[in-house]
Amino acid sequence: MENNELIKEVTAKAQTWLTDGYDAETQSAVRRMLEAEDKTELIESFYKDLEFGTGGLRGIMGAGSNRMNIYTVGAATQGLANYLKEAFADLPEISVAVGHDVRNNSRKFAEIVADIFSANGIKVYLFDSFRPTPELSYAIRKLGCQSGVNITASHNPKEYNGYKAYWNDGAQIIAPHDVNIINHVNRIKDVRDIKFEGDKSKIQIIGEEIDNQYLDAVHTLSLDPEVIKRQSDLKIVYTPIHGTGVKLIPESLMKWGFTNIIHVPEQDIPSGDFPTVDSPNPENPPAMAMAIAKAKEVGADLVVASDPDADRIGCVIRDNDGEYQLINGNQIVMILLNYIMLRNRELGRLQGNEYVVKTIVTTETIKAIAENNGIKMYDCYTGFKWIAAVIRELETKDRYLGGGEESYGFLAEDFCRDKDSVSAISLMAEICAWAKDRGMDFNQMLQEIYLKNGYSHEEGISVVRPGKTGADEIQQMMVNFRANPPKEIGGSKLTCIKDYSNLTCTDAATGDISKLDFPTTSNVLQYFTEDGTKVSIRPSGTEPKIKFYIEVHDKMADAADYARCNADAAAKIARIKKELGI
């Protein structure tokens, strides 16, 4: 589309926001964009409507159809309400749970969501203040709700907010419900179709009682309470990075029996401005700097963090030189699943119907760990809604042990259906106590996992391309990678190409094509090589970026070989990045 045509289109769209249905503040912001000589902000705000991605609705806050505001939140909620009344027409009363994080406008958006649901005759359980995302998932199941909404933008920068929609199993919404909701949202052609005037008699405030029930449930996941008694004074530094985790994670650790929880006081302050960090993302070393400084000060055994909505976990351990180092999301999932499988075996709980789940971009070493323990492993798409879909499909047949993804998410339980840092951090502390009780540190335990199951090293690279032009560029990059696959990667020949956009697996040597068994298509491309290297490429579903996941493998001769493996892997990944042009 030519730029003049695009400006004409977004101008017409923006002018519809100057009607009486929109408040004065919104109209003023839109008028300013229309009158500005530079039309960039106008285009970015109106060139498309926010859509459900891997994490639901997410965007920069501001006026416009491509922004998070009371009208986009309102349209999404009205569409969801309309669909719920259609999908559950046989129920005498439909109910939903609504939660939110600490971000700017989160409480405001949550109350608007509650008002709209109630105005549509739907019972609402609204949390009294911010809560971890996994507790919202738990509440949906516990209260027997048909749906739920959490206002959060997870670990995105402070300019963002988001809207996660959940179904009656406590999982984020997938097909066909996501498409059906969007269809209902698209039928709302006028802001006056949104019922903003709430029915307070339909809104019930919830809080402490659900907190206690949820924490009791999380405590049932402990696999070695005796080792915690022996290591109760383990030095644990924890930071919520200004987020919701401060509400429940220290309390969970204490409930499990840990008595020496060391805070980072400046980051215990809930704030949507995230004043001590540029980005509240525990996978980024700068976000963990204050916690690491505290760990050095007190000689901590473990450093853990949660992101703003407390569904993701960050973890820092000491390396061979005693320095504190951030471990990646793949390693977090490996450590947690390895422990859960091991302890279940030691406790005699394995009956042969257990399984674990990972996403397709998460390390293949988890498959090796599962196979070595005689446990089934399932692959699924990126996003915890897909792990939840596997749990839902198997919940009456097999026993879920745990599941995770490379993006620092893990779920140890099935009473919740979204990634959960409350349980993950509690388990990680238990694992640290378990290792220390055996005279090992976390780094030695990680090396032991690699010795038994093969060494792997992973790196994720995000190439940011914001806005309309960025979206077009990302689309073209995917076209180019599909049209021009490499013959080899990192010096190893390609063996197959998996393209989830058409669910095909192509043999690189013969050209033979087989079908991939997945529930739907997805814009993901993967290359596999003879030496086990895996490269995955996908546009983000929640941010303006294209993501590359590089995974290389090696064999460790012994623990002393770990440094050599790390150095070789780093060099190989650097070579692959250069080959891919990233």
568-577 tens-digit pLDDT: 999 999 999 9
Compute the CA torsion angle 346, 232, 218, 311 (nearest 10 deg).
-110
Enter the DSSP assignment of 259. Answer: -
Mean pLDDT computed over 111-134: 98
pLDDT band at 55 (very low <50, low <70, confident <90, very high): low
Q: Which residue has the tokens 């302890």?
A: 343
For residue 491, what are the CA distances in angstroms to 272, 460, 483, 494, 531?
Answer: 46, 20, 21, 9, 9
Q: Which of 283, 409, 241 is nearest to 336 (CA)?
A: 409
CA distance 450 to 556: 7
Task: Give the residue numbers annotated as catalytic, written as ranges.
Answer: 154
Whole-number pLDDT of residue 1:
45
* HEC readout, 43-112: HHHHCCCCCCECCEEEEEECCCCCCECHHHHHHHHHHHHHHHHHHCCCCCCCEEEEEECCCCCHHHHHHH
Enter the DSSP assignment of 540. Answer: -
Whole-number pLDDT of residue 195:
98
The CATH code of domain 50-212 reads 3.40.120.10
What CATH architecture applies to the domain 455-580?
2-Layer Sandwich (3.30)
Mean pLDDT computed over 433-448: 94
Based on C-alpha coordinates, what's the Rg of the chain? 24
Q: Which of 485, 449, 182, 189 is nearest to 339 (CA)?
A: 449
CA distance 494 to 511: 12
Whole-number pLDDT of residue 467:
81
CA distance 61 to 55: 16
Bridge pairing between strands 302-306 and 313-318:
antiparallel
Mean pLDDT computed over 458-487: 92
CA distance 113 to 68: 13
Domain positions in the chain: 1-47, 50-212, 455-580
Whole-number pLDDT of residue 57:
85
Mean pLDDT computed over 9-35: 95
Q: Which of 490, 479, 579 is nearest to 529 (CA)?
A: 490
Mean pLDDT computed over 91-113: 98
pLDDT, tens only, 225-255: 999 999 999 999 999 999 999 999 999 999 9
Single-letter code of the amino acid located at 21: G
